[in-house]
Structure 1
Amino acid sequence: MQISRIAISLLLASALSPALAAQTDCPQHYAGGQAPDLLKPAMQQGARPLCFSAFGVVHSAVSRTPLWSAEYLTPARVAKAATLERKDSFHEEERLPEAERAELEDYRASGYDRGHLSPNHDMPDLQAQAESFSLANIVPQAPWANRGQWGDLEEAVRKRVKAGRSLHVISGPMFEGSQLAQLDGRVLVPSAMFKLVCDLQARQLVAFVLSNELRPAATPRYQQVSLVELERRLGMTLLPGVPEAAAFGKLVLPGTSTASR
């Protein structure tokens, strides 16, 4: 099912307004203590910041998905996460008004996975693990991506952290093009996904984009893109607390040698 023209125009509006800093009560999850800035008026509409114990999000009433989920991974945190067994507990986010949030029913028989942004396997304790299954941290994701290359990127980040680096990670959906699907007439389906990984101490970062096409003719490969290009496409400033971030060197993650653009 295709989304209405009104919703498309709200989401894809390219005109930029003065940046709206996403207020946050959990600066510990963000590089430089600041959440991304929203530049598109459409994204500013109905944007609600939410804090969880191990990650922070901004949720959109327009898409009924998060616009991003941010986490700070340390070797100690990842070591703790490795001791926990996965316990699925997907649930609606009760802090959001019913009219603005996704419901479990929206995903039923949709063909899409309930895809984590901040992944369950990054969560250091049972509370954080349960919170990661909130639909405020979930987007509709093509199964081949969620269970394949997206998961590969998540694991590559953890391997880098296990090697002794602390990393800031921002993951989120991208809504591009004029034909956007929706679940149950309510939840927008991303056209692609992005992941930004930043090592502040080493002054390095890397950004990835992965298609979210449900049934691609051939399995796409995630691409590395520059921070400048990613921010332009999203209509966000992803690292406002790190003004010099665009000049950072390239962060290399294990097993992620791909073409760059």
Structure 2
Amino acid sequence: MFQRFTALALALLAHGASLATPSCPQHYADGRSPEIRNEKLARATQELCYQSFGLMHSGLTRTPLWSAEHLTPTHIEAAQNLSRENSFHPDPQLPPSQRAELSDYARSGFDRGHMAPNGDMPDRTSQHQSFSLANMVPQDSDNNRHVWAGIEQAVRKLAKREGGLYVITGPAFLGRDLRKIGNVFVPSHLYKVVYSPRQNAAAAYFVANEADAHYQTISVAELEGKLGINLLPALSASQKESMLRLLRPKGKS
């Protein structure tokens, strides 16, 4: 099942390091990926580039720190015509000592929660890549299938309206009493950052990783303060303080 763990929470207190230019800039606003300000969180990280999204993987948590997409109406339309084929798999690009395995999730009671959603993937290759465990976090099943699914649907609707969005999705590990399933850390919260190039504005959904959760909409600046990550380095401080009007997902708020 899962165990309680505190070392990661202690590791998240120090700040300092950033990361280099991404290998797949097409997935990021202005070609600039997030910058990790927390030097301990930056340890054992590896960038992974896929066809329709990119991510920064943590060998410490064995989850992504973020997954990033340039979500376009064309991708959404193609994804709607693609049947789902589950193909959960450990990522061979990662060393076994730092990656999640199917056995970590087995009988844990948690879903393997996509960060870059399968429902955004426009073709079979991208869909298969989205089922890499490098793109997953342990997610409460009620959360995954209700409030989080509603958030994903709302973002797709907004992407169609705006003509495209840059989306960054990831886990937050807040507090000093974190859980693990096998070797994988369970996030306390989940976030989804939404940036509209048309409006040159952004905001984020933020939700606890628990059943019957209610989401919040917060500024990018507030979220960055929680995470210790500069999520949108292309935006100014004032742009991060202002709020893009996000759509209300179906269900709880």
Gap runs ≥5 in structure 2: none
Structure 1 residue runs of 4 or more that deviate by more than 6 Å after TM superposition = 256-259
Q: Corresponding residue for 1:123?
A: 121
Q: Corresponding residue for 1:203?
A: 200
Deviates more, 1:61-70 or 1:1-10: 1-10
TM-score by length of 1: 0.91
Aligned residues: 251
CA RMSD after TM alignment:
1.8
How far apart are 1:161 and its partner, in Å? 2.0
| Correspondence for 1:250 among 244, 247, 252 | 244
TM-score by length of 2: 0.93
Q: What CA distance in whole angstroms lies between the structure 2 residues aligned with 1:22 and 1:195? A: 22
| Correspondence for 1:230 among 223, 227, 249 | 223
Q: Deviations over 1:24-69 (max 9, x none)?
A: 2110000110110000111110011110000000000110000000
Q: Which amino acid aligns with 2:14?
A: A
Question: How has the CA–CA distance of structure 1 residues 122 and 207 changed in structure 2, closer, same or farther, with 3 Å as cutoff?
Answer: same
Q: What CA distance in whole angstroms lies between the structure 2 residues aligned with 1:22 and 1:66? A: 17
Q: Do the aligned partners of 1:22 and 1:36 also contact (CA within 8 Å) in 2? A: no
Q: What CA distance in whole angstroms lies between the structure 2 residues aligned with 1:50 and 1:192? A: 22
Q: What CA distance in whole angstroms lies between the structure 2 residues aligned with 1:257 and 1:116? A: 20
Gap runs ≥5 in structure 1: none
Identity %: 41
Q: Corresponding residue for 2:14?
A: 15
- Report matched runs for 1:69-218 at 5 Å: 69-184=67-182, 186-213=183-210
Q: Which amino acid aligns with 1:16?
A: H
Secondary structure of residue in 1 paired with 2:143:
helix
Question: How has the CA–CA distance of structure 1 residues 4 and 161 changed in structure 2, closer, same or farther, with 3 Å as cutoff?
Answer: closer
Q: What CA distance in whole angstroms lies between the structure 2 residues aligned with 1:257 and 1:31? A: 29
Q: Deviations over 1:113-158 (max 9, x none)?
A: 0000000010011100000000010000000110001010000011
Q: Do the aligned partners of 1:31 and 1:242 also contact (CA within 8 Å) in 2? A: no
